[in-house]
């Protein structure tokens, strides 16, 4: 069945449900999108997965974050011990959670036997200082992308929530947005983990210098290599592989959206598999959503990351599947439909 015919069939099924046309609003468009992603009139969610990608950023030595890089490692252990917001939400919804070490600046891999949910795909101990060199070499960036693809291969289920942890990663995401969106860096940055006004001004100054240094990094891959982070590059690979397997991508906030933008620029069509969970208060997120032609499901003032916003939106995806599969149609229920 071609896409046009499938879309017509899905819309007909939704319109024939026992309700006025369009009465379920965004749930109806979400149900249609799920059917299009899976190529079926009966979309299903099977064994959803949460992957939290973690890495450190060399640029943080210039004071671009309110927190020290050591917090990345500390938060990874919090994930592994089940104490973070995303752990709470994963347990609430019965979703399996794994943590991917893409480039944390510590030897957490030594504890992999104690934490079977930890996946060791470390490329190096944090990205390089993008103010003096590229954040990654081309080989490191390519390895990270390939690692992301490997993580997805053989992963159970058909719905993926990707979260992240990396002190300094709002800077990397802002740099990628500015370069790939052809935007001023002032429009792309926010307070991240809580910078004050002076800190925000300093962050803007540093990131402006980074963009000037890497002014030739204009393609998606060169921009990712020069400006990105190891967890973002690994997420890019994960999105590309997941889309190739027709998985539902439930996209979190600013960092995840920046990775999706790169993935879609590298492999056109990846964004077709994405459902955008929420509108982050990070200022650059609205520009990412516009570039990706996306309308998020929630707007709740979130800016935590970790995949938390996507986990909060997950029940809406469940509801959309249930509506299209279980709700009666007028003829079966013996109810008169709308007059033509």
Active-site positions? 306
The sheet with strand 118-120 has its strands ordered as: 118-120, 96-103, 49-55, 159-165, 248-251, 274-276
**Residue 201 CB neighbour total at 10 angstroms:** 11
Q: Are 256 and 235 in contact (CB under 8 A)?
A: yes
Q: Are 242 and 160 in contact (CB under 8 A)?
A: yes
- 134 to each of 59, 66, 229, 272, how far by Cα in Å? 10, 23, 10, 30
Place of tokens 């990205």: 127
Q: Tell me if residue 164 falls in helix, strand or coil.
A: strand
**How far is Cα of residue 110 from the mean position of the Cα atoms in its chain?**
27
Radius of gyration from C-alpha coordinates of the chain: 21
Place of tokens 């208060």: 281
């Amino acid at each position: 069945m071609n896409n046009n015919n499938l879309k017509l069939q899905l819309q007909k099924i939704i319109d024939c449900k026992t309700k006025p046309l369009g009465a379920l609003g965004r749930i109806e468009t979400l149900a249609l999108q799920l059917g299009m992603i899976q190529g079926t009139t009966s979309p299903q969610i099977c064994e959803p997965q949460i992957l939290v990608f973690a890495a450190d950023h060399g640029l943080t030595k210039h004071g671009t974050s309110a927190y020290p890089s050591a917090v990345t490692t500390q938060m990874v252990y919090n994930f592994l011990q089940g104490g973070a917001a995303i752990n709470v939400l994963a347990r609430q919804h019965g979703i399996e959670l794994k943590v991917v070490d893409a480039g944390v600046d510590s030897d957490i891999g030594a504890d992999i036997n104690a934490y079977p949910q930890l996946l060791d795909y470390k490329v190096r101990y944090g990205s390089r200082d993008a103010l003096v060199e590229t954040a990654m070499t081309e080989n490191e960036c390519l390895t990270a992308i390939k690692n992301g693809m490997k993580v997805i291969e053989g992963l159970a289920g058909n719905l993926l929530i990707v979260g992240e942890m990396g002190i300094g990663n709002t800077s990397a995401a802002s740099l990628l947005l500015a370069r790939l969106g052809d935007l001023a860096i002032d429009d792309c940055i926010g307070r991240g983990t809580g910078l004050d006004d002076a800190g925000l001004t300093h962050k803007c100054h540093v990131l402006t210098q980074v963009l000037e240094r890497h002014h030739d990094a204009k393609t998606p891959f060169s921009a990712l290599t020069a400006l990105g982070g190891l967890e973002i590059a690994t997420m890019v690979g994960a999105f590309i592989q997941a889309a190739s397997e027709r998985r539902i991508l439930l996209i979190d906030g600013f960092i995840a959206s920046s990775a999706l933008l790169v993935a879609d620029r590298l492999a056109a069509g990846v964004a077709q598999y994405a459902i955008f969970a929420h509108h982050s208060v990070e200022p650059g997120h609205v520009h990412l959503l516009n570039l990706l032609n996306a309308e998020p499901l929630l707007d709740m003032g979130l800016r935590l990351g970790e995949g938390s916003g996507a986990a909060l939106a997950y029940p809406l995806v469940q509801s959309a599947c249930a509506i299209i599969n279980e709700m009666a149609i007028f003829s079966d229920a013996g109810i008169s439909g709308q007059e033509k």
